[in-house]
A and B are shown apart, each in its own frame.
Chain A
Amino acid sequence: MTKRLADALFGSVYYLFLASFIGFSAIPVVVAIVLSFDARSFIGPFPPTAFSLQWYEKFLADDYYYQGLATSLLVSAIATVASTVLGALAALGLDRAGFRGRKVLQAILLSPLVVPNVVLGFGILMFASRLGIIDGMPRLIMGHVLITFPYVMRTTAASLVGIRSSYYEAALSLGARPWKALLQITLPLARTGIVAGAIFAFVTSFDDVGISLFLSDAFTFTLPVAILAQMRANLDLTIAALSVIFILATILIIVLLDRLAGLDAAVGRGVYGR
């Protein structure tokens, strides 16, 4: 019966690892949610003894976070629109391109994903100052376009793999002008990839800290930079309340991603998919 014993042992290790995965991921989120309702005015031992909304009131009254949120929304919106247009066009262009060096160009355009964000942030800071750009806003937009562009290009390229170019060519042979065939045939078919890429771009831009830390200035800073500064100054539970808002926003975005592009489009079903 060693076979049954070994299998039982295997099963328990398998589920222990699975449980650890879920525990490490979920417990901190639950703890942050519970702490955000803590009625104590200091950080005390867990769990809280009484509950209140004081931390929510405190951060709602804080102009500092609003300022960060306004900057973040503006930067992320501009970066998302720019990256989506540039990334989708580049993916379409590369997909139809037959020239030599196509692979190299693709790797170069995707490389902001691999170059550490700190390096890009530091580099853009010095590049901008040599160009005479010393304001936070244009610098942040430059950086955010650079780091979000590859996401759109990658998801659009992935969605184009499934589209046979014969559709496009059929439209051409039926007399459609190339731009019209592209607009009415290829673009609608690549829609899920472009939408998924735009959502990834927005989230990446909104959550970024690595490059924003370098590119923010005293008056223009993003929300994560504001939170980071606050966390290093004094660790209170205002940030727990903010975390809950972030968690709700993330759930909303996931639902949006599922509705607009489908979660399976982001992961794929594979050759033997059920």
Chain B
Amino acid sequence: MKRPGLTASMLWPALIVILPLLFGPLLVLLHESLKPHIAGRVGGDATSALTLENYALLAGPEYAQYFLDTFRIGLISTVLALMLGYPMAHFIVRRASPIMRRILIASLIGTLFLSLIVRIYAISMTFGSLGPLAGFSRLLGIAPTSPSVAELMVVLGLLNTTMPLVALTLIGTIQNINPRLEDAALSLGAPHWKTFVQITLAMSVPGILSAGIIGYAFCISNLVVPMLVGRGFVLFVSNLIYFRFSEVANFPSGAALSIVMMVISLGIFYGLLHLVRTQWQEAGK
């Protein structure tokens, strides 16, 4: 008893509003990225022929560093988030009392809901040179004046969002592992660590990869964290795009960077997620 008329009419409002808001800007970006840039002008030259010059310039070695920094620091933050987020999710699902579970889940969602700007401000006041945890960088063997401190701050800033994000995603994964498998291993004399690694962790691999991809997509597209705590030493591709808009006013180059960044983000997200889902489909069932 399908009512195609009613169904279609419910979809129309979203299609009419969202599709132009999504594709309009992307097409304008694509068009702008193909226009030649004339020094001193904000927008590209509309009269000349379209060119791929803006993309060719991005292939230069001076841009490679920004891309590499973005991907490397994003990866470090994601791996750390998974390392710390997995035990948290495991604790919530397997060990926490119902009240503890509620408090922890509320705190995880609360952390994500608290304004990112406020959290980054709090981190810079805590780990900054006058903060109570200023010695944390020395603990890791980083001199307080070296550029690596900026990198550490960016990692801590990204971690603050990726940890709860990853933990909330992993709660779903661990919840769907039958606890009797762990009980069986323990009752057969397996040590706790071995049960954890060979059963719980092993069965979570697809979930861990999915959570990692979601966290990584957040990290590499971030603008605010490097802007506020990167001290100019750490700049992500997002920051370059923002500079093209706010300081250099080279819109064609900013548009080309945007298109490249979008393709990479979509590729990582849908491509890798699809790969994980198809590779592990049998194992997950």
Q: Which residues of A come within 8 Å of B, CB atoms? A: 3, 6-7, 9-11, 14, 17-18, 20-21, 24-25, 27-29, 31-32, 35, 43-47, 82, 85-87, 89-90, 92-94, 96-99, 105, 107-109, 111-112, 114-120, 122-127, 130, 142, 145-146, 149, 153, 169, 172-173, 178-179, 182, 203, 206-207, 209-210, 213-214, 224, 227-228, 231-232, 235, 239-240, 242-243, 246-247, 250-251, 253-254, 257-258, 263-264, 266-274
B interface residue numbers (CB < 8 A to A): 1-4, 6-11, 13-15, 17-19, 21-22, 24-26, 28-29, 32, 83-88, 91, 93, 98, 102, 105-107, 109-111, 113-119, 121-127, 130-133, 156, 159-160, 163-164, 167-168, 171-172, 175-179, 191-193, 196, 217, 220-221, 223-224, 227-228, 238, 241-242, 245, 251, 254-255, 258-259, 261-262, 265-266, 269-270
Chain A residues in 8 Å Cβ range of B238: 116, 118, 210
Which residues on B sit within 8 Å (CB–CB) of A246? 114-115, 118
Q: How far is the CA of A6 from the CA of B194 in the complex (A)?
A: 9
Residues of A within 8 A of B83 (CB): 17
**Which residue of the partner chain, among B115, B132, B254, B270, contacts A122 with CB atoms under 8 Å?**
B254
Chain A min CB distance to B108 (Å): 8
The complex places the Cα of A86 from the Cα of B29 at a distance, in Å, of: 25
| Contacting residue for A9 out of B117, B176, B193, B227, CB 8 A | B193
Minimum CB–CB distance from B211 to chain A (whole Å) comes to 13
Query: Are B172 and A267 within 8 A (Cβ)?
Result: yes
Cα distance A94–B3 when bound, in Å?
12
Determine the distance from Cα of A116 to Cα of B217 in the docked complex, in whole angstroms: 8
Alpha-carbon distance A239/B110, docked complex (angstroms): 19
Shortest Cβ gap from A34 to chain B (Å): 9
Known: A93-B11, A124-B21, A270-B175. A118 touches B241 (CB 8 A): yes
Asked if residues A247 and B192 are in contact (CB atoms below 8 Å), the reply is no
Contact status of A31 and B255, CB under 8 A, knowing A21-B84, A94-B11, A247-B114: no
